[in-house]
Structure 1
Amino acid sequence: MALLVTAAVFTSCSKDSNNNPDPNPGKVDTTAISGDVSGTWTKGNVYKITGSLQIAEGKSLTIEEGVTVLFSDTIVKPEFIVKGNLYSNGTAQNPVKFTVPDNLKTSANQFGGFWGGIIAGPTSTELVLNYTILEYGGAVTTEESASVKAGLYKAAAGERVPALYYSNVNGKLVVMNSTIRNFYEDGMYLEGGKVLIAKNTIHTTGIANGDAINIKSGCVADVAFNLVYSPNTNGLKLSNSGDRTPQAFVIGYNNTIVNAGWRRPTTKGGSIWVEKGVRVNLYNNLLANDRYGIKRDKGNPEDSANGRSVIANTFYYGYTQTAVDQFQPSNEIIAGANDITATTAGANDPKFVSYPLNTDVNNATFDASWDFHLQAGSPALTKGKTGITRNYSAGLTVNGVTYTSPEAADYIGAFGVK
Structure 2
Amino acid sequence: MKKLQIIALGISLLALAACSKKSDNAVVSVPQIQIGKAIPNTGVLPAGSYKGTLLANQTYTVGGDITINAGDTLLIQKGVKINMTNGANFIVNGDLISLGTSSSPVTITDPRRTKVPGTSVLGQDSAYVGGWGGIYAGPTSKLVVLKWTHLDFGGAALKALPFTGANSLKVGAQYILYFTNPNGVFIMEDSWMYGSPDDATRFYGGYYNIMRNTMEKCGSNGGDGFNAKGSAVGNMAYNLIIGGATNGTKTASDGTTAGECQFTMYNNTYVNDGFRNNGVYGARSGSVEIENNSRALVYNNLIVNCDFGVRIAGGPAGAKVYLADTTLVTNGSVLFPQTKYGYNFYYADAASIADQFVPTNVAQQVVTHPQSTDIPNMAAFLGVNYTFGLVYDGSSLVGKNNPMFTNFPLPATAGSWVTQCSVDGYNFRLQSGSPAAGKGTTTAFQPITTGIPLDANFGSSGITPPGQDIGCYQLNGTGNQH
Task: Indicate whether the TM-score tops 0.5.
Answer: yes
Amino acid at match of 1:190: F
Tell me the distance in 2 between the aligned counterparts of 1:395 and 1:64: 22
**2:476 corresponds to 1:412:** no
Corresponding pairs, count:
391
Other-structure match for 1:376? 432
Whether 1:349 and 2:365 are equivalent positions in the alignment is no
Q: Is the Cα contact below 8 Å between 1:52 and 1:146 reproduced in 2?
A: no
Q: CA deviation at 1:370?
A: 0.8
Give the match's secondary structure for 1:392. coil
One of 45, 51, 54 as aligned partner of 1:38: 51
**Counterpart contact for 2:167–2:255, Cα < 8 Å:** no
Residue 172 (structure 1) shift: 0.7
In the alignment, residue 392 of structure 1 is paired with which amino acid? T
Match of residue 346, structure 2, among 306, 316, 325: 316
Task: Say whether residues 1:133 and 2:160 are aligned partners.
Answer: no
User: Which among 110, 114, 121 is matched to residue 127 of structure 2?
Assistant: 110
2:449 alignment partner AA: Y
Secondary structure of residue in 1 paired with 2:47 = strand
The question of 1:389 aligning with 2:456 is answered no
> Which structure 1 residue ranges, 5 or more long, are not aligned?
1-7, 13-25
* Cα-Cα RMSD: 2.3
Pick the aligned partner of 2:461 from 403, 410, 414. 403
Q: Is 1:302 equivalent to 2:324 in the alignment? A: yes
Give 1:99's match in structure 2, choosing from 100, 106, 109. Answer: 109
Among 189, 193, 201, the alignment partner of 1:180 is: 193
Does residue 276 of structure 1 match 2:292? Answer: yes
Distance of aligned partners of 1:118 and 1:394 in 2 relative to their CA distance in 1, 3 Å threshold: closer
Cα–Cα, structure 1 residues 366 and 28, in superposed 2: closer, same or farther, change >3 Å? Answer: closer
In 2, Cα distance between equivalents of 1:400 and 1:228: 26
Give the equivalent residue in structure 2 for 1:241. Answer: 254
**Relative to structure 1, is the Cα distance of residues 314 and 363 closer, same or farther in structure 2, using a 3 angstrom cutoff?**
same
Deviation at 1:29, TM superposition (A): 2.9
Q: Which has the bigger relative contact order, CA under 8 A and spacing at least 6?
A: 2
Say if 1:95 and 1:133, in contact at 8 Å, map to a contact too: yes
Q: CA contact under 8 A between 1:251 and 1:390: conserved in structure 2?
A: yes
TM-score w.r.t. structure 2 length? 0.76
Q: Is the 8 A contact 1:395 1:403 kept in 2?
A: no
Q: Aligned residue for 2:177?
A: 164
Amino acid at match of 1:302: A
Q: CA deviation at 1:244?
A: 3.5
- CA separation of 1:28/1:363 partners in 2, compared to 1, >3 Å: closer, same or farther? closer
| Counterpart amino acid of residue 448 in structure 2 | N
Q: Distance in 1 between matches of 2:238 and 2:94?
A: 28
Q: Percent identity?
A: 30
Taking a change above 3 Å as real, the CA distance of residues 113 and 395 of structure 1, as seen in their structure-2 partners, is closer
Partner of 1:123: 140
Asked if 2 retains the 8 angstrom alpha-carbon contact of 1:129 and 1:174, the reply is yes
Deviates more, 1:390-399 or 1:35-44: 390-399
Q: Deviations over 1:46-68 (max 9, x none)?
A: 11110111101110000000111
Deviations 1:196-254 (A, max 9, x none): 00000011011021111101121111111000001100011111112342311101100
Distance 1:394 1:115, change over 3 A: closer
Determine the C-alpha separation between the residues in 1 that align with 2:442 and 2:301. 13
Amino acid of the residue matched to residue 370 of structure 2? A
Q: Amino acid of the residue matched to residue 290 of structure 1?
A: C
**CA displacement at 1:349 relative to structure 2:** 0.5
SS in 2 for 1:390: coil
User: Secondary structure of 1:51's partner?
Assistant: coil
Give the match's secondary structure for 2:352: helix
**d(CA) in 2 for partners of 1:11 and 1:275?**
45
- Alpha-carbon spacing, 1:356–1:42, altered in 2? closer, same or farther (3 Å): same
1:79 aligns with 2:89: yes
Conserved 8 A contact 1:294-1:334: no
Q: CA deviation at 1:382?
A: 1.0
Distance 2:113 2:132 in 1: 15
More strand by share: 1
